[in-house]
Amino acid sequence: MNILSSSPEIPTHSDENPLHIAQRQIDRACELLELPVAARKLLRQPLREFHFLLSVQMDDGSLEVFPAYRIQWNDARGPGKGGIRFHPQETVDTVRALAAWMTLKTAVLDLPLGGAKGGVICDPKHLSTPELERLSRAYIRAMSQAIGPDIDIPAPDVYTTPQVMAWMMDEYESIFSRRQPGVITGKPLCVGGSIGRDDATARGGIYTVREAATVLKLDLKGKTAAIQGYGNAGSHAHRLAVELLGMKVIAVNDSQGGIYAESGLDYRKVQEHKRRTGSVVGYPKSEPISTSDLLGLNVEVLFPSALENVITERNAECIEARIIAELANGPTTPEADEILHRRGKYVIPDILCNAGGVTVSYFEQVQNASNFYWDEATIHRRLDDRMTTAFAAVHDTATRHGVHNRLAAHLLAARRVYEAMKARGWA
């Protein structure tokens, strides 16, 4: 295992590289805040990086080696927090960017946490359940000395699940021979998970859409929405947009294709179709729709809910939605941000819109530490309070400084992280 105690200087520009986008965003916020040079260096690079190889026995007896990472970007405000992705196209720069955004996200929500992220380059769709378990446990064995409830707390992300989190927690507890449920969040309820975690990312995003509609004086009842990406966040957003906002979702897609129905898509039937077939494609009484056409639909709310760099300078002029609610991480490039802002589109940035997941993960930590668990109504009320307060802070910052919402969120977050670093004597 090769462990880097601190990261090297990282280049600052490379088109749509997510790390370079995150650094440009941080640089801009630091510039406007006039932060000292030391603070800027600490904010734009990870404090610690872990690069390692996981040797895992496959079902046929062979050994497969998987590259893996854990990036701890900044822990001035508290222990690192961030998910672990299992993805065949994972890159260290993507993990770095996600760790940076996680640092900003926890600060925007004013949670006592820092930012981290992990990843394994693998295709979980081609792994058996025993192989997936061995890979999950191998990751924790490699990272066991550098994670913990007061150090860095992993969580699920793309292609990782509550079951994966349970295996990881069990491996950690086996290594240290003690109960430590707070080392991992996003666990099944039966081993210390939290009620409300399954739809928390989407629910938090829906709360921010409600607040955006209020400031824009829009009535969303009966209005249309489109969802790009139909994983955990996107599928829950479909249900909650209907149930909490009274909206009509007319288009959704996943990695295999998209569907459109002018009269609206029934979330129960679409989700059942995907469970049965593996994709939304082929859903009855719908038409196929491409990703580009879905993004350009004239809807009230667009939910980018998949991966990075979906809205760029090449298609930002075609976005017709009034509100863009980013349930994905990094779906919009800086150049696209400027175009959308000029066109009067209201973007709810990812580090605010999708922060419901980390917020309920924090609630899970609190419940694990006290060994007392809250009911669903309490979780929803406290999540609503956190998201509403954070939305107001970002909107007020944007209005006061005359900037778009993403820059406002970065200004708010960078200032809060800087204050913690300054209090510690780091900068």
Query: What would the pLDDT profile of 141-167 be if each residue is shown by its tens digit?
Result: 999 999 999 999 999 998 999 999 999
CA distance 128 to 156: 19
Catalytic residues: 117
Pick the range with the lowest mean pLDDT from 11-25, 162-176, 228-242, 334-348.
Answer: 11-25
144: number of Cβ within 10 Å: 15
CB 4, CB 51: distance < 8 Å: yes
Residues 6+ apart with CB under 8 A from 329: 97, 98, 101, 307, 308, 350, 354
- Asked if the domains at 2-25+33-191 and 200-353 fall in one CATH topology, the answer is yes
Give residue-wise pLDDT tens across range 189-231: 999 999 999 999 999 999 999 999 999 999 999 999 999 999 9
- For 200-353, which CATH superfamily applies? NAD(P)-binding Rossmann-like Domain (3.40.50.720)
Q: Where are the domains of the chain?
A: 2-25+33-191, 200-353
The top-level CATH class assigned to 2-25+33-191 is alpha beta
Alpha-carbon separation of residue 19 from 73, 110, 167 (angstroms): 12, 23, 30
Question: How sure is the predictor about 98, in pLDDT bands with cuts at 50, 70 and 90?
Answer: very high
Which two structure tokens, joined as six digits, stand for 119?
A: 């990843």
Helices (H), 71-128: 92-108
Looking from the CA of 172 toward its CB, the CA atoms found within 13 Å total 26
Exposed / middle / buried, residue 373 (Cβ in 10 Å: 0-12, 13-18, 19+): middle
Q: In what order do the strands lie in the sheet with 48-57?
A: 2-4, 48-57, 63-74, 115-121, 80-87, 152-156
Nearest to 206 by CA among 227, 229, 231, 185: 227
With pLDDT > 90 as the criterion, what percentage of the chain qualifies?
92
pLDDT in tens, 5-36: 333 333 333 357 889 999 999 999 999 999 99
Rounded mean pLDDT, 286-304: 97
Whole-prediction pTM value?
0.92
Residues in the chain: 427
SS3 content of the chain, % helix, strand, coil (to 5): 50, 20, 35
C-alpha–C-alpha distance, residues 22 and 71, integer Å: 14
pLDDT at 4: 37
β-bridge mates for residue 309, sequence order = none
